[in-house]
Structure 1
Amino acid sequence: MDNKQIPLHAGFDATTTATEALAGRDLSGVQAIVTGGASGLGLETVRVLAGAGACVLVPARDPHQAQAALHGMAGVEVATLDLLDPQAIDSFAAAFLATGRALHVLVNGAGIMATPLLRDARGYEAQFATNHLAHFQLTARLWPALRQAQGARVVCVSSLGHRQAGVNLDDPHFLHQQYDKWRAYAQSKSANALFAVELDRRGAAHGVRAFSLHPGAILTPLVRHLDLDDLRRVGALDDAGEVNPPPQSGFKNVAQGAATAVWCATSARLDGLGGVYCEDCDIAALVADDSTGPGVRRWASDPVQARRLWVLSEQMTGVSFDCDAA
């Protein structure tokens, strides 16, 4: 397997903010869609992209709540989308395509983490269905607009949590094994990274490049399902139950957490590149499977595994994702 995970040493680090990662770039004329753009890291991503002149569309399950969160941001629109509803994904994408607009940036950032066992109407495990399959289908449906941009980027928000497990292609929905909320989350994040690998391989000839990333550890609404033991596990709380400040926990603030997504979406340093996993506004190193530190594991960057996941995703969604189709 060729190793594309070669850091660029771009001059940023874990303290870089999204505004700093943008580096003053003018995004006038850029159309972006940011899932999860009404809260947490997505909200900051939208704020920075729109502040630089981009037009940003934010799909949200609760559009009224999203409009309140995004109030006052120029160039930002809200539309209805429930990622656990395949028909809603198709309707959202069809409505966007009907506008005739090209899509320059798609940030697949919405997600859920470490939930109790939940299944969608198809019987699919909710973390895999929301974090991966929904974004696979959304990207497929928006493909004509991405191609039309003649230079688009798809940014898949993964996580360092991928290090806990790869994708179980034989039983991704925990039908024949005991459900583990953290392993389910980990496989969905490995799937995000693998999707970027195969999407970039297929899309590069059409000017569409794909990236995945670990934003860093940040306390956002994503942690809503975690109990006190879970919060201690991820380093958010000390033994006394008090919140660990960033110097001890290693957590980022929201502005820092959104930086790598903005960098992947806009940085000229990534021109001509793609299919890589990034962290701290740089391409991450490929590390050993048993590593406990940063970097991407083999199972989340393996092109063979990525192709197998692509085929499985087509089967599960019923979406034939033909990147050569106009």
Structure 2
Amino acid sequence: MTWEQQHKLGSGFGAHSTARDVLVGIVLSGKSALVTGGYSGLGLAGVQALVEAGARVVVPARRVDVAREALAGLTGVEVFELDLGDLESVREFSDHLLGEGRTLDIVINNAGIMACPETRVGPGWEAHFATNHLGHFALVNRLRPLFTEETRVVSVASSGHFLSGIRWDDLHFNDGYDGWLAYAQSKTANALFAVHLNDVVGVRAFAVHPGSILTPLQRHVPREEQIAQGWMDENGTPAEGFKTPEQGAATAIWAATSPLLDGLGGLYAQDCDIAEHATGDDMLVGGVKPWAVDPEDAARLWGISTELTGQGA
């Protein structure tokens, strides 16, 4: 990946395309996918589209009973317990899949938390960084023996990365907590993970901004704050420019399956195409900031993540 490659390809899809739209003509029979957080919001919409295209899908879930209820009726879907904020849980889950000797053709790192109250997990790690980034980092690296040469890994990032690069001097907000900055840092980390995984490790990877969607991800954001932010009106109707979950899932599914991306990787996508450079600070317009695709920062973050998780070496 180079900064110069970070431009639209002319995919023919856009902000209103759905996950089903981008899979028209694509047959996934015999393919195996893994979607974290695949039982609510855009994750569930993505799983439904993958199954309709013929894929078998593994859905790791912290709330197994809730996941099985949400996914009931979908054929070819398996649910296993996984808490991304607990590295022992990551180890147990990945060991189970490794023991079965299956292959994984698609991995979508979709699960995440947003703007939650200050929470510490593991050895005192800040919860956004631990769950959104470190958990996925450890999971993907443990599962690498199951990948083929064609496997694609998609990290669901966000235009929230506009608000913060990596806070190298205080990754875990020990000097004062801000939930939005913690979320923002984790989304930058998601994007940088894809850069290094693709360009250095050699696993085809992309990061995506799904768009603005009202889903359970906003459960820690009070309704009055969502109204004040202009995300919805007082009746709960989403603001103009917000997507449905089916539209929000589309860019990750496109990045995971589009033939147009053969031979490419390490890029940041939006609206079912490669994103343009962000020239302003309007997150609804989107694009990608340079700190989210910087290879030197990606390498530095990879090293730190390896030290913290024991994976990725």
TM range (shorter): over 0.9
Contact 1:109 1:156 in 2 (8 A): yes
Counterpart position of 2:212: 217
Sort the Cα spacing of 1:291 and 1:219 in 2 relative to 1 into closer, same or farther, 3 A. closer
Structure 1 position 275 matched with structure 2 position 273: no
Runs of 4+ in 1 over 6 A off after TM superposition: none
1:183-225, CA deviations, whole angstroms, 9 ceiling, x for partnerless residues? 1100100100000001001233xxx200000101111110100
Q: How many Å separate the matches in 2 of 1:233 and 1:143?
A: 43
1:1-326 mapped onto 2 (5 Å cutoff): 2-146=3-147, 149-176=148-175, 178-204=176-202, 208-238=203-233, 241-245=234-238, 248-288=239-279, 290=281, 293-319=285-311, 321-322=312-313
Q: How many Å separate the matches in 1 of 2:55 and 2:205?
A: 19
Q: How many Å separate the matches in 1 of 2:229 and 2:95?
A: 39
Q: How many Å separate the matches in 2 of 1:263 and 1:53?
A: 15
How far did 1:99 drift? 0.9
Sort the Cα spacing of 1:193 and 1:318 in 2 relative to 1 into closer, same or farther, 3 A. same
Root mean square deviation of aligned Cα? 1.4
Q: How many Å separate the matches in 2 of 1:45 and 1:291?
A: 26
Contact 1:235 1:244 in 2 (8 A): no
| TM, length-normalised to structure 1 | 0.92
Q: How many Å separate the matches in 2 of 1:299 and 1:180?
A: 20
Q: How many Å separate the matches in 2 of 1:234 and 1:260?
A: 24
Contact 1:3 1:286 in 2 (8 A): no
1:112-143, CA deviations, whole angstroms, 9 ceiling, x for partnerless residues? 00001001031000011100000000001001
Q: How many Å separate the matches in 2 of 1:301 and 1:19?
A: 28
| TM, length-normalised to structure 2 | 0.96
Which letter does structure 1 place at the counterpart of 2:172? H
Q: How many Å separate the matches in 1 of 2:252 and 2:84?
A: 20
Q: How many Å separate the matches in 1 of 2:106 and 2:223?
A: 37
Q: How many Å separate the matches in 2 of 1:201 and 1:170?
A: 26
Contact 1:218 1:253 in 2 (8 A): yes
What's the secondary structure of 1:219's corresponding residue?
Answer: coil
